[in-house]
Amino acid sequence: MRQIVLDTETTGLEATKGHRIIEIAAIEVVNRKITDNYFHVYINPQREVDEGALAVHGLSDEFLADKPKFQEIYQSFIDFIKEGELVIHNAPFDVGFLNMELEKTGSGQLVDHCSGVLDTLAMARQLHPGKRNSLDALCERYAVDRSARTLHGALIDTELLAQVYLAMTRGQDSLLDTVSANESGISSPLFKSSQGRLAVKRASESEVARHDEYLTRLSKENVEVVWRAHKE
Protein backbone atom coordinates (compact mmCIF):
# COMPACT_ATOMS: atom_id res chain seq x y z
CA MET A 1 0.00 0.00 0.00
CA ARG A 2 1.35 3.42 -0.99
CA GLN A 3 0.59 6.37 1.26
CA ILE A 4 1.72 9.99 1.04
CA VAL A 5 2.12 11.99 4.25
CA LEU A 6 1.47 15.61 3.25
CA ASP A 7 1.54 19.11 4.71
CA THR A 8 1.33 22.67 3.40
CA GLU A 9 2.16 26.16 4.62
CA THR A 10 0.13 29.15 3.46
CA THR A 11 0.03 32.95 3.42
CA GLY A 12 -2.93 32.92 5.81
CA LEU A 13 -5.76 30.83 7.16
CA GLU A 14 -8.52 31.17 4.57
CA ALA A 15 -8.34 30.15 0.92
CA THR A 16 -11.72 31.82 0.34
CA LYS A 17 -10.11 35.19 1.18
CA GLY A 18 -7.39 34.85 -1.43
CA HIS A 19 -4.68 33.22 0.63
CA ARG A 20 -2.32 30.90 -1.20
CA ILE A 21 -0.04 27.93 -0.64
CA ILE A 22 3.66 28.76 -0.20
CA GLU A 23 5.11 25.34 0.67
CA ILE A 24 4.18 21.73 -0.04
CA ALA A 25 5.94 18.69 1.40
CA ALA A 26 5.04 15.05 0.91
CA ILE A 27 6.78 11.88 2.09
CA GLU A 28 6.15 8.42 0.66
CA VAL A 29 5.24 5.50 2.92
CA VAL A 30 5.03 2.05 1.31
CA ASN A 31 3.69 -0.89 3.31
CA ARG A 32 4.19 1.11 6.52
CA LYS A 33 7.83 1.90 5.74
CA ILE A 34 9.03 5.48 5.19
CA THR A 35 10.98 5.57 1.93
CA ASP A 36 13.58 8.02 0.61
CA ASN A 37 11.08 9.28 -1.98
CA TYR A 38 9.69 12.73 -1.20
CA PHE A 39 8.33 15.91 -2.79
CA HIS A 40 9.16 19.37 -1.45
CA VAL A 41 8.77 22.81 -2.98
CA TYR A 42 8.47 26.46 -1.95
CA ILE A 43 6.00 28.51 -4.00
CA ASN A 44 5.69 32.19 -4.92
CA PRO A 45 2.09 32.99 -3.87
CA GLN A 46 1.95 36.26 -5.84
CA ARG A 47 0.66 38.04 -2.74
CA GLU A 48 1.99 39.08 0.66
CA VAL A 49 2.30 36.71 3.60
CA ASP A 50 0.19 37.73 6.61
CA GLU A 51 2.16 38.75 9.69
CA GLY A 52 0.46 36.06 11.77
CA ALA A 53 1.38 33.35 9.29
CA LEU A 54 4.95 34.64 9.03
CA ALA A 55 5.33 34.30 12.80
CA VAL A 56 4.29 30.64 12.52
CA HIS A 57 6.42 29.43 9.60
CA GLY A 58 8.99 32.19 9.01
CA LEU A 59 8.63 32.18 5.20
CA SER A 60 8.97 35.83 4.14
CA ASP A 61 7.90 37.61 0.97
CA GLU A 62 11.57 38.14 0.11
CA PHE A 63 12.39 34.45 0.46
CA LEU A 64 9.44 33.42 -1.73
CA ALA A 65 9.93 36.06 -4.43
CA ASP A 66 12.12 33.93 -6.73
CA LYS A 67 10.30 30.63 -6.12
CA PRO A 68 8.17 28.95 -8.83
CA LYS A 69 4.45 29.70 -9.07
CA PHE A 70 1.92 26.93 -8.39
CA GLN A 71 1.06 26.56 -12.08
CA GLU A 72 4.71 25.73 -12.70
CA ILE A 73 4.89 22.87 -10.21
CA TYR A 74 1.38 21.41 -10.02
CA GLN A 75 1.97 18.64 -12.57
CA SER A 76 5.00 17.29 -10.71
CA PHE A 77 2.93 17.39 -7.51
CA ILE A 78 0.08 15.47 -9.15
CA ASP A 79 2.54 12.91 -10.54
CA PHE A 80 3.99 12.34 -7.06
CA ILE A 81 0.67 11.77 -5.26
CA LYS A 82 -0.99 9.82 -8.09
CA GLU A 83 -3.01 6.86 -6.82
CA GLY A 84 -1.58 7.17 -3.30
CA GLU A 85 -3.61 7.61 -0.12
CA LEU A 86 -2.89 10.99 1.44
CA VAL A 87 -2.26 11.20 5.20
CA ILE A 88 -2.83 14.75 6.49
CA HIS A 89 -3.25 16.29 9.96
CA ASN A 90 -6.38 18.47 9.97
CA ALA A 91 -7.00 17.47 6.37
CA PRO A 92 -9.87 19.89 5.56
CA PHE A 93 -7.46 22.84 5.86
CA ASP A 94 -4.84 21.51 3.44
CA VAL A 95 -7.39 19.94 1.10
CA GLY A 96 -9.30 23.22 0.86
CA PHE A 97 -6.17 25.10 -0.21
CA LEU A 98 -5.01 22.39 -2.61
CA ASN A 99 -8.47 22.20 -4.20
CA MET A 100 -8.42 25.95 -4.74
CA GLU A 101 -4.96 25.88 -6.31
CA LEU A 102 -5.70 22.87 -8.53
CA GLU A 103 -8.97 24.39 -9.73
CA LYS A 104 -7.08 27.51 -10.83
CA THR A 105 -5.03 25.29 -13.16
CA GLY A 106 -8.09 23.45 -14.49
CA SER A 107 -6.95 20.20 -12.83
CA GLY A 108 -10.07 19.39 -10.85
CA GLN A 109 -9.80 18.59 -7.16
CA LEU A 110 -7.34 16.71 -4.99
CA VAL A 111 -9.45 13.53 -4.78
CA ASP A 112 -9.28 13.31 -8.58
CA HIS A 113 -5.58 12.49 -8.29
CA CYS A 114 -5.29 10.23 -5.22
CA SER A 115 -7.02 7.16 -3.83
CA GLY A 116 -8.31 8.89 -0.71
CA VAL A 117 -7.46 11.18 2.20
CA LEU A 118 -6.93 10.09 5.81
CA ASP A 119 -7.27 12.79 8.47
CA THR A 120 -4.96 11.99 11.38
CA LEU A 121 -6.56 14.69 13.54
CA ALA A 122 -9.95 12.97 13.24
CA MET A 123 -8.26 9.65 13.96
CA ALA A 124 -6.48 11.05 17.03
CA ARG A 125 -9.72 12.50 18.38
CA GLN A 126 -11.32 9.06 18.15
CA LEU A 127 -8.35 7.41 19.87
CA HIS A 128 -7.86 10.13 22.52
CA PRO A 129 -11.19 11.88 23.13
CA GLY A 130 -11.02 14.96 25.31
CA LYS A 131 -7.25 15.31 24.99
CA ARG A 132 -5.06 17.70 23.02
CA ASN A 133 -4.37 16.22 19.60
CA SER A 134 -2.15 18.80 17.93
CA LEU A 135 0.94 17.46 16.18
CA ASP A 136 3.10 18.64 19.10
CA ALA A 137 0.83 16.88 21.59
CA LEU A 138 0.87 13.66 19.57
CA CYS A 139 4.65 13.76 19.28
CA GLU A 140 4.85 13.96 23.06
CA ARG A 141 2.24 11.21 23.52
CA TYR A 142 4.00 8.82 21.14
CA ALA A 143 7.57 9.75 22.14
CA VAL A 144 8.47 11.23 18.74
CA ASP A 145 11.45 13.59 18.98
CA ARG A 146 10.37 17.08 17.83
CA SER A 147 13.40 19.01 19.11
CA ALA A 148 14.26 20.12 15.54
CA ARG A 149 10.87 21.82 15.13
CA THR A 150 11.51 25.43 16.13
CA LEU A 151 9.01 26.79 13.57
CA HIS A 152 6.19 25.20 11.63
CA GLY A 153 7.45 23.92 8.29
CA ALA A 154 5.84 21.55 5.82
CA LEU A 155 8.87 19.27 5.48
CA ILE A 156 9.65 18.85 9.19
CA ASP A 157 5.94 18.47 9.95
CA THR A 158 5.51 15.67 7.40
CA GLU A 159 8.53 13.86 8.86
CA LEU A 160 7.04 14.10 12.35
CA LEU A 161 3.53 13.21 11.21
CA ALA A 162 4.78 10.12 9.38
CA GLN A 163 6.32 8.83 12.62
CA VAL A 164 3.24 9.76 14.66
CA TYR A 165 0.90 8.10 12.17
CA LEU A 166 2.86 4.85 12.16
CA ALA A 167 2.88 4.87 15.97
CA MET A 168 -0.87 5.54 16.12
CA THR A 169 -1.64 2.66 13.77
CA ARG A 170 0.98 0.18 14.98
CA GLY A 171 -0.28 -3.37 14.63
CA GLN A 172 -3.07 -2.50 12.22
CA ASP A 173 -3.12 -4.34 8.90
CA SER A 174 -5.83 -2.11 7.47
CA LEU A 175 -7.00 1.42 8.17
CA LEU A 176 -10.75 1.15 8.54
CA ASP A 177 -11.29 0.51 4.82
CA THR A 178 -15.01 0.08 5.38
CA VAL A 179 -15.55 3.57 6.75
CA SER A 180 -17.66 5.54 4.29
CA ALA A 181 -16.85 9.03 3.05
CA ASN A 182 -18.77 12.17 3.73
CA GLU A 183 -19.83 14.60 1.05
CA SER A 184 -16.57 16.59 1.15
CA GLY A 185 -14.57 13.58 -0.02
CA ILE A 186 -12.62 13.29 3.24
CA SER A 187 -13.48 10.64 5.81
CA SER A 188 -13.26 10.58 9.56
CA PRO A 189 -10.81 8.96 9.82
CA LEU A 190 -10.71 7.68 6.21
CA PHE A 191 -12.23 9.40 3.18
CA LYS A 192 -12.81 7.82 -0.17
CA SER A 193 -14.50 9.89 -2.82
CA SER A 194 -16.29 6.94 -4.40
CA GLN A 195 -18.35 6.03 -1.33
CA GLY A 196 -21.50 7.40 0.27
CA ARG A 197 -22.20 9.76 3.15
CA LEU A 198 -21.59 9.14 6.83
CA ALA A 199 -24.60 8.91 9.06
CA VAL A 200 -24.97 11.99 11.29
CA LYS A 201 -26.06 11.52 14.91
CA ARG A 202 -27.63 14.70 16.25
CA ALA A 203 -27.16 15.83 19.85
CA SER A 204 -30.25 15.61 22.07
CA GLU A 205 -31.86 18.75 23.51
CA SER A 206 -30.44 17.98 26.97
CA GLU A 207 -26.95 17.49 25.51
CA VAL A 208 -27.18 20.80 23.66
CA ALA A 209 -28.33 22.53 26.86
CA ARG A 210 -25.45 21.09 28.92
CA HIS A 211 -23.00 22.12 26.20
CA ASP A 212 -24.40 25.66 26.20
CA GLU A 213 -24.05 25.86 29.99
CA TYR A 214 -20.41 24.76 29.69
CA LEU A 215 -19.68 27.46 27.10
CA THR A 216 -21.33 30.06 29.32
CA ARG A 217 -19.07 29.09 32.23
CA LEU A 218 -16.03 29.42 29.95
CA SER A 219 -17.16 32.89 28.87
CA LYS A 220 -17.46 34.00 32.50
CA GLU A 221 -13.85 32.87 33.01
CA ASN A 222 -12.75 35.18 30.17
CA VAL A 223 -12.11 32.25 27.83
CA GLU A 224 -12.76 33.09 24.18
CA VAL A 225 -15.48 30.70 22.97
CA VAL A 226 -14.66 30.41 19.26
CA TRP A 227 -17.27 27.71 18.70
CA ARG A 228 -20.08 30.13 19.42
CA ALA A 229 -18.74 32.68 16.96
CA HIS A 230 -18.69 30.05 14.20
CA LYS A 231 -22.12 28.77 15.15
CA GLU A 232 -23.61 32.25 14.86
Q: 122 and 189 share a domain?
A: yes
Per the structure, the count of domains in the chain is 2
**128 and 152 co-located in one domain:** yes
- Are residues 17 and 126 both part of a single domain? yes
Residues 78-96 pLDDT 10s: 999 998 999 999 999 999 9
Domain that holds residue 180: 2-201
Q: Which residues are catalytic?
A: 152
Pair (158, 197) in one structural domain: yes
Query: Are residue 211 and residue 185 in the same domain, yes or no?
Result: no
25 & 71 share domain: yes
Same domain, 197 and 210: no
Decide which of 99 and 56 is more confident.
Answer: 99
**pLDDT tens digits, residue range 118-160?**
999 999 999 999 999 999 999 999 999 988 776 678 999 999 9
Do 135 and 207 have their domain in common? no
Same domain flag for 161 and 218: no
pTM for the whole thing?
Answer: 0.73
Please tell me the predicted confidence (pLDDT) of residue 147: 83
pLDDT band of 66, cuts 50, 70, 90? very high
The DSSP line for 129-146 is: TTS--SHHHHHHHTT---
Q: What is the mean pLDDT of the chain?
A: 83
Q: Domain containing 123 — which CATH number?
A: 3.30.420.10
Identify the pLDDT of residue 214: 61
Do 157 and 56 share a structural domain?
yes
Tell me: do 137 and 231 sit in the same domain: no
Both 19 and 133 in a single domain?
A: yes
